[in-house]
Chain A
Amino acid sequence: MDSPRILPCGDSALSVEFGKTIDPLINQRVQILYNRIKADPPFGLIDLIPTYRSLLIQYDPLKLSFETLKQRVFSFEGLPEGRADVGGRKMEIPVCYGKGFGPDLEEVAGFHELTIDDVISLHTASTYQVYMIGFTPGFPYMGGLDERLFTPRKTTPRESVPAGTVGIAGQQTGIYPLESPGGWQLIGRTPVRIFDLTKADPFYLRPGDQVIFKAISEQEFEDY
């Protein structure tokens, strides 16, 4: 395995870059390093942002030098993989596909010359990995989508997408946690609150979690 590149992001952050593509193995290395640093944070660490292919480390350079942090990263990186490092949780998320909830479901099916039922069964058949969380608080970018569902973003983004909407963009699937603008193809909606400030932990998902979608009816959505 190649050593990651360490790239300065100004005087108070550095990026550990494992690659430049969307790749489950690259993301796994990001997750492992993120979990290890989180479990044993060096003095002077401010924050961590794991992404598809890199880990940003924010630090206080007056407490933790660039070189020390770099050495620390390499020492964590060199460790053999442990069980605790990759253990994302398995989460099942109910989704009501189509109808008013997934206005692009028909278009997605048409694009791939599939039936609506095909799209639903393909989308519910895969296990997805949360590669990163970003865009808005709690928005999970998930990989593992069946190739037959890869669909380009909308040419014109919608001004408003309701909270809970499940979408597809390229080779990814995701869930809008808050009402926000959005350009993804919308195929359904979950009644689960992906971001809920009334809870002690407002975030339903964490980077590294494994997600499975389960199709539910409109009635089940309403009763949830």
Chain B
Amino acid sequence: MNKNLKTIKILNPGPLTTIQDRGRYGFQDRGVPVSGAMDQGAYRLGNLMVGNKSDEAALEITLGGFKAEFLTDAFFCVSGPEQEVRLNNHVILTWTVHHAVSGDVLSLGYGRKGVRWYLALAGGVEVPMIMGSRSTYLRGGFGGLEGRLLRKGDELAVGRPNGARPSSSIPKELIPDYSPEPILRVVLGPQDEAISEEGLDTFFNSAYTVTQRSDRMGCLLEGQPIQHKKGPDIISDATAFGSIQVPGSGQPIILMADRQTVGGYVKIATVISVDLPLAAQALPGYRIRFKEIGLQEAQDLLGEREKPIEEFFGIGGRV
């Protein structure tokens, strides 16, 4: 295959399409956010389905409205919440591998069942690695394609497919259940002791609405304010994917893919890995509830989620 041959041309990127992968690890000690796919579940499964390693770069399409033309033949898969996807004018299934030929046009509708979809291409999207990752970090202006969101007319190449056979479809139970009223399970800490009894009670017993201001950095929620014991400020401490900050307003923020590596607000709890995709797909207006579980239970749930994936795709499903 000609290395310079482009595989896909963006006809309409929709509101926000970027190139993302597993994320940029190893540089958080230098203040570099991880970035990467917001819904790691859908992203990773899409890659595995087209026969890629689970950490190849894919397109993250936000809120639909995307259109692209294939410039070569390619296997691809669209993963994420329910969405109307068409190849030319035929409706095709999500979570299914399709074969496109040169000239085919792929389009996503404006289905409102979630926020983000992943277009995985056999071979993975080929852009330069920056600090070990192809993920776009928009605020820093690096990664992905020139550190920016994709525009109409952009042409992207893919790497050489590794020869693994695509899986035309996957068992239904592997597909996340994207609920419009998600219950996010959390492990308390690391600063739950800075929240009053009343504040903890409020956090676990009320619903929080996702606001329009949410983005790849954080899921900003609105509801009953959570009370601190002494105030929201701490000497800066590191953050994790799913850390829930409670600033002075008492309105919680779930820190997501583009989160800053350190922050000076109290963190009441952390969303468990298995439930992060639900936070990533929560549309403005969705009402979120939180439920406390233990650390061991959270890790067991992760193991239970991984087992059928590894069984279906074989070793190498995890990076």
Q: Which residue numbers of A lie inside 8 Å of B, CB to CB? A: 7-13, 15, 17, 20-22, 34, 46-56, 58, 60-62, 65-66, 132-139, 141, 178, 197, 202-203, 206-207
Contact = CB atoms under 8 A, between A and B. Distances in A.
A54 B30 CA distance: 15
12 contacts: A9-B243, A9-B267, A10-B187, A11-B187, A56-B239, A133-B29, A134-B260, A137-B27, A137-B30, A139-B31, A178-B140, A206-B29
B298 A135 contact: no
Given A9-B270, A10-B273, A21 B235 contact: yes
B189 interface: yes
A34 B25 CA distance: 16
Contacts, number: 137
Which of A13, A22, A66, A137: most chain B Cβ within 10 A? A137
Interface of B: 25-34, 130-131, 139-140, 142, 186-190, 234-243, 260-262, 267, 270-273, 295, 298-299, 301-303, 306, 318
Nearest to B270: A10
B9 to A, nearest CB: 27
Given A51-B236, A53-B235, A11 B272 contact: yes
Contact of B236 (A137, A141, A207): A141
Contacts of B238: 9, 15, 49-51, 54-56, 134
A54 B237 CA distance: 7
Given A9-B238, A9-B270, A49-B28, 8 more contacts: A9-B240, A20-B234, A20-B235, A47-B26, A54-B237, A62-B318, A132-B236, A197-B130
Given A12-B240, A54-B237, A49 B29 contact: yes
B252 to A, nearest CB: 15
A8 B30 contact: no
Contacts of A132: 236, 262
